[in-house]
Chain A
Amino acid sequence: MSRAINCPSCGGSIEVKAAGYTVSVACRHCGSVLDVANPDVAVIAEYHQSVRQLPLPLGSRGTLFGTQWEVIGFLERQAGDYRWGEYLLFNPYAGYRWLVHSDGQWQFGTMLTDLPRETGRWGEAAWRGEVYRGEDEPVTIITARVIGEFYWRVRAGEMWVARSYERGGASLSREWREGEEVQWTHLVGVPGRLIDAFVRPQGPDLARPEPARPRPDTSQSGQLGFFARLWQEAAERRTSLWHMAMLLLVTVFAALLLLSALTSGADGVRGQGQVAVDGPTARITVGPIHLAAAHQFVTVKVAASDFTNRWVDLDYLLVNRATQATIPASATIEYYAGRDSDGSWAEGSHHTSTRFSQVPAGDYDLLVEAEAKRWNDPSAYNYTPPMPDNPWGIGGVANAAAPEAEVISLGFLVEPGGFPMGLWWLIVALAAAPWAVFYAYRASKTAVYGEDS
């Protein structure tokens, strides 16, 4: 039994897995950090960011060192330019552990209750009779992003000083900051296949948030697109200038996207590949890409073949052929559709675009790792519950018919990106004109009739 709360910021429903221990929850719908230590949930910091798919989504479960764990929280941390992820694991009978994911390697972390001691020799710590050596100077770690729940009041932007001590394959990490207890964590490596074996929750990590307030039941609103629904919602209320300003922003943003899509450079490089749904990671290389300017944007556009209720995680590495310097990025293509009490709904798209900034001149290859996942909408009438192959164990695995693997085709276009600023400002001005006219009109009405807004 876990406790369910509603995010005061976006109204999304959030399940608190570790009720009684958990102090802060970062809403998985909008990213706002909430204080749940007290019965009345309060917003600590408000963010309206889309929370992207994680390599190990919250709610995943798996077994490590003989104990089953559930992933309940995620921190993205950085020291200088170096970024890595830390997942918080929970089991009500075993407490908390950490899973640190950096450079594609996984480490399992246990918080220590018997603290290591400094031996007095520089850069040495002794723990349970063994000496660990710290080679590097202490570094300052910033928490860049938080998702999920934590047993302390976590904040994006919080800073700790950390020092790592190594011995063989294990390490001790000491984290401290002014006015807080020193935290020691013992870390051991975990083979990636154990993490791959974690069972991901059915469906996207980003469940559709429940609307914060009951909307009038508009029977067709489900069939309308996002913008149409926004227009319609705005029309349902007495349109205020504020909402018009919001619409203006949305329109301008849509124009921005459209422009980015239209301004394709002539010297783009195309590539393609395929990825099997729920299959192995597909590796696709696009190149060579020749960049002439000293520094430039590089835009990667990807379009996928038609699919529904699937998502594709893309990890990009832009590799300089001469220096082997790499620039990482990631993207997700997702498209979901189904029926609920509001009628049909659909969200997502079959294409996405990612931009690298400040890429130096040179010849590059784009290395893509793609993974496609299936999502079954449990409320859909054609929902097929996941079934083991050969559920009755008749015959052997060999003569169980393998289901036809579903394949998604991906087309890539990599190009040095420019952007027509002049045309852009023209569109902004044109979009803002009706708002300005309306504002003047409102102002005159208010002056004459004393109409309240």
Chain B
Amino acid sequence: MANNTCPQCGAPVPMRSGAMPYAVCGYCQTVIARDGMRDIGKAALLPYDISPIQLGTGGAVDGARFTVVGRVRWGWADGAWNEWLLQLSDGSTRWLGEAMGQFQILAEREDLLERFGAFRVGDSMQVDGVTFIASDIKQVECLGAEGDLPFPTPNDWRIESVDFRSTTGAALSVQRDGGRLSAYVGRYVELAELRPSRLRAVEDWVIPDNLAETGR
């Protein structure tokens, strides 16, 4: 683990993923560009939540091991959710979406973007042979971030998020930031399927046997 220090407060900023251009200082929430360790703004302080995932949680997905290296928390008028960045052992990344106690594994897909325009609820999309229906479109705000990230997460960042549902358990999420689109395709998963290790210990709760750490 390479250590660099925060240009704002001097605290160490461990590099959990060498591939990520941005990091958030865990002490003063400064957003740091790794290139030259430049201070490029502030992220919001993450509000307390009771997620079982934390930076450093390990597991397996799509035939590779992963480590959780970063997180962005999004909020809208009626709630909030987490998107955890997974660094896989094969060099690729995934996002682990966590909303209302349910998990999705998503991979970014740049090849789909030319097919996407404006969406209305009820629109259907064919992706990889699966029919997706746009079920929810909302304006969301970045509530905070931590760890290593592929993009900067400024304090007042607002985007549009479109969720799609399917009959197969597959998931599709499209985000529009001004004129920039990004698309993420994947599926709903149970936490146990990821064979997670180093889950966060939540006070008063025992980590279930099927999620207990295997080997140290």
A residues contacting B by CB (< 8 A) are: 1-3, 17-21, 23, 37, 39, 66-68, 90-96, 111, 113-117, 151-153, 181-182
CA distance A23 to B166 in the complex (A): 26
On whether A20 and B49 interact (CB within 8 A), knowing A114-B166, A117-B167, A153-B78, the answer reads yes
CA distance A3 to B47 in the complex (A): 11
Tell me, yes or no, whether B101 is within 8 Å of chain A by CB: yes
Tell me, yes or no, whether B126 is within 8 Å of chain A by CB: no
Give the interface SS of chain A, mostly helix, strand, loop or mixed. Answer: loop
Given contacts A37-B78, A92-B51, A93-B202, 19 further A-B contacts (CB under 8 A): A1-B48, A1-B50, A1-B202, A1-B203, A20-B51, A37-B77, A37-B80, A39-B47, A66-B208, A68-B206, A90-B101, A92-B50, A93-B52, A93-B207, A113-B171, A114-B169, A114-B188, A115-B165, A181-B135
Q: Are A181 and B100 in contact (CB under 8 A)?
A: no
User: Which residues of B from 169 to 216 have beta carbons under 8 Å from A?
Assistant: 169, 171, 188, 191, 199, 202-208, 210-211
Which B residues lie within 8 Å of A115 (CB)? 165-167
Q: Which residue of A lies closest to B82 (CB)?
A: A20
CA distance A66 to B192 in the complex (A): 13
Tell me, yes or no, whether B102 is within 8 Å of chain A by CB: yes
On whether A93 and B49 interact (CB within 8 A), knowing A21-B101, A151-B100, the answer reads no
Q: Are A20 and B78 in contact (CB under 8 A)?
A: no
Which B residues lie within 8 Å of A91 (CB)? 205, 208
Which B residues lie within 8 Å of A92 (CB)? 50-52, 202, 205
Residue from A113, A152, A181, A182 whose CB has the most chain B CB atoms within 10 Å: A113
Q: Are B78 and A95 in contact (CB under 8 A)?
A: no
Contact mask for chain B residues 45-70; partner A; CB cutoff 8 A; 1 contact, 0 none? 00111111000000000000000000
CA distance A23 to B75 in the complex (A): 11
Tell me, yes or no, whether B136 is within 8 Å of chain A by CB: yes
Which B residues lie within 8 Å of A111 (CB)? 102
Count of B residues near A, CB < 8 Å? 35
| Least distance between B49 CB and chain A CB atoms (Å) | 2
On whether A20 and B80 interact (CB within 8 A), knowing A90-B101, A93-B52, A115-B167, the answer reads yes
On whether A151 and B49 interact (CB within 8 A), knowing A114-B167, A114-B188, the answer reads no
CA distance A2 to B205 in the complex (A): 11
Q: Which of the residues B80, B102, B208 comes within 8 Å of A67, measured between beta carbons?
A: B208
CA distance A1 to B203 in the complex (A): 5
Which A residues lie within 8 Å of B206 (CB)? 68
Q: Nearest 3 A-B pairs (CB), nearest first? A: A20-B49, A95-B101, A114-B169
Q: Which of the residues A17, A23, A67, A114 comes within 8 Å of B79, measured between beta carbons?
A: A23
